[in-house]
Amino acid sequence: MGARSGEYGSLRRVDGIGAPFFVLGLPLFLSACSGRQSALDVAGEDAAAISLLFWVMFGAACLLWVAMNGLFFFLSRIRPGQFPDRYVQPLLIGGGILLPTVLLAALLVWGLGLLPDQRAPGDGLRIKVTGEQWWWRVEYWPEGAEAPVVTANEIRMPVGERVEFLLGADKVIHSFWIPALGGKMDMFPGRETRVSLRAERTGVFRGQCAEFCGASHAWMAFETVVMEPDTFDAWLEAEAGDALMPVEGAATRGAALFLSQGCGACHTIRGTEAVGQVGPDLTHVGGRLSLGAGRMGVSTAGFTRWIGHTEALKPEVQMPSYDFLSTEELDDLAQYLVGLK
Amino acid sequence: MSEDRQKTRDGEVEEFAEEQASLWRITLSPLAWAAHFVICYGLVALSCAKGLPVESVRQGLIVFSVVVLALIGWIGWRAWRQWDVRETGDYLNQQGKAEDRHRFLGHAAFLLSIISFIGVVFVSLPLLLLEGCG
Ligand SMILES: [Cu+2]
């Protein structure tokens, strides 16, 4: 916001009661346009198409607003009195029927024309995402793959390639949305929907569930990392591998606790006895950018908080809070998990 | 109903009987629009859910849309003649006489046909611009 404070200097002379609100509100308003979860801070081809449509509509709406209010002002203040009869009919038919019909038809054709692109076939990589309450099950299917690379709560994709997302849901409807990259697409139980996205620059962008799905809907997010294709390939290869074995004391104790506390009934850590399917795959959880589907950052402190206060952090979450574990035990678990890069 | 243009002024009773048909006629265009809407949405949803050949359904519905548009166009044309504003020069027909009722119903049916026509065009556009089930 600081960088934008110059922008209201020229607006100081706006009169009337609305002015202070306008002047104070504008930087707030504008600051919402940039950022890693903004449809207006475009990072992908599909988002670019949508934001162009948005700006054209916004510009036209401003024009219309000025024209209507200008006309009203003109007729009520500058030239009040009888409106000449001969203008009534053209104004009603032209402005009331023809203009809106043509404009709406044009917008409809434009908008509908964008839809096929959002489902265009990809360049090879397909990512299957399943919406769960309240996290994301993720499977990477590179071209020709026979088994997927399974992970969760984060999307990584190569820049400049069209990636196809195959979307589904477990129990209730969710919606998959990475505003900086493209439009949203609903996820339904028992039905596969598709959206394809092509990122145009590398970076980290936030995705968010965009369909109310229960108590922790607002906490159902994820990070999207757009990488150079080489880096992506290397990452995917590492992601496909088994979990790293813990080496030092605390992490080794954590690994044992993980199994003895029954975490493995719900979570998979490949290369160990933990093969649960209820919750997110944790094989490389320490390498993620966020913990608990965008709930917080990945750190030892983060893991301790998550495991000890799960239900406080995410209302109605399926994972029980392990608040009965001692601080040392929580710390051991955290040391183990944070090391799973 | 063919005596629409026949300016019958000989008795309210006869005129009113005809006006019932005309009253019914003003609902025709919106009804066609509604039916078209339900059939399009229903059929596409059904064929996508049941795995029917959606491409043939789409093409069939495009033809169906053209037929519905022609129907609404025809109803609108009949209504325009019933209104007969060019002949009478009377836009509003406010007199409350039998003829005014007759013309007013034509006027209403004409405007309803326009909005229904636009509605059907808007509902049909996805058929032209989108393919498959998504
Ligand atoms: Cu949700």
Question: Could you read off the pLDDT of A214-268 as tens digits, one per residue?
Answer: 999 999 999 999 999 999 999 999 999 999 998 888 999 999 999 999 999 999 9
CB atoms within 10 A of CB B40: 22
pLDDT of residue B113: 95
Across the interface, do A193 and B134 touch by the CB < 8 Å criterion?
yes
Query: The complex's ipTM?
Result: 0.76
Give the pLDDT confidence score for residue B18 in this predicted structure.
67
Which runs of E-coded beta strand occur in chain A? 126-132, 135-141, 149-152, 154-158, 162-169, 174-176, 185-187, 193-198, 203-208, 221-227, 290-291, 296-297
Q: Are residues B125 and A108, on separate chains, in Cβ contact within 8 Å?
A: yes
d(CA B5, CA B83): 9
Q: Which residues of B touch A194 (CB under 8 A)?
A: 134
> Identical fold at A33-83+119-233 and A249-338?
yes
Q: Do B130 and A101 touch (CB under 8 A)?
A: no
String of DSSP letters for A142-187: -TT-SSPEEEESEEEEETTSEEEEEEEESSS-EEE--TTT---EEE
Instruction: With cut-offs at 50, 70 and 90, classify the pLDDT of residue A35.
Output: confident
Hey, is A43 helix, strand or coil? coil
- The domains of chain B are located at 3-129
Pairing type for strands A193-198 and A162-169 reads antiparallel
- Mean of per-residue pLDDT scores for chain A: 89
Q: From CA A197, how far away is CA A163, in angstroms rounded?
A: 5
pLDDT tens-digit map of A4-32: 443 333 444 444 455 555 556 665 555 55
What band does A1 get if pLDDT is binned at 50, 70 and 90? very low
At A92 the pLDDT is 87
Rounded to an integer, what distance in angstroms lies between the CA atom of residue B95 and that of residue B103? 11
Residue B74 alpha carbon to ligand 1 centre in Å: 49
Amino acid occupying residue A244: L
CATH of domain A249-338: 2.60.40.420
The residues, any chain, with a CB within 8 Å of residue A183's CB and separated by 6 or more, are: A46, A47, A50, A118, A177, A195
User: Residue range A293-300: average pLDDT?
Assistant: 94
- The per-residue pLDDT for A12 is 43
The secondary structure of residue A41, as a DSSP letter, is S
d(CA B37, ligand 1 centre) in Å: 31
A30-52 burial code (b ≥16 CB/10 A, e <16): eeeeeebbbbbbbbbbbbebbbe
- Find the residue in A nearest to B131 (Cα): A116
Question: How does pLDDT run across A108-145, given as a tens digit for each residue?
Answer: 999 999 988 888 889 999 999 999 999 999 999 999 99
Whole-angstrom Cα distance, residue A122 to residue B91?
58
> Is B122 close to A116, i.e. CB distance below 8 A?
no
User: What pLDDT was estimated at residue A97?
Assistant: 86
Contact pairs from chain A to chain B, CB under 8 Å: 24
Check whether domain A33-83+119-233 has CATH 1.10.760.10, yes or no = no
Q: So what's the pLDDT on residue B97?
A: 73
Residues of chain A in contact with residue B120, where contact means CB-CB under 8 angstroms, are: none
Pairing assessment for the beta strands A221-227 and A154-158 based on DSSP bridges: parallel
Q: Which of A112, A119, A193 sits opposite B125 (nearest CB)?
A: A112
Task: Tell me which chain B residue has its CA closest to the CA of residue A101.
Answer: B118
Which chain A residues have a beta carbon less than 8 Å from that of B114? 97
Report the alpha-carbon distance of residue A47 to residue A197 in Å, rounded: 9
pLDDT category, B90, cuts 50, 70, 90?
A: confident
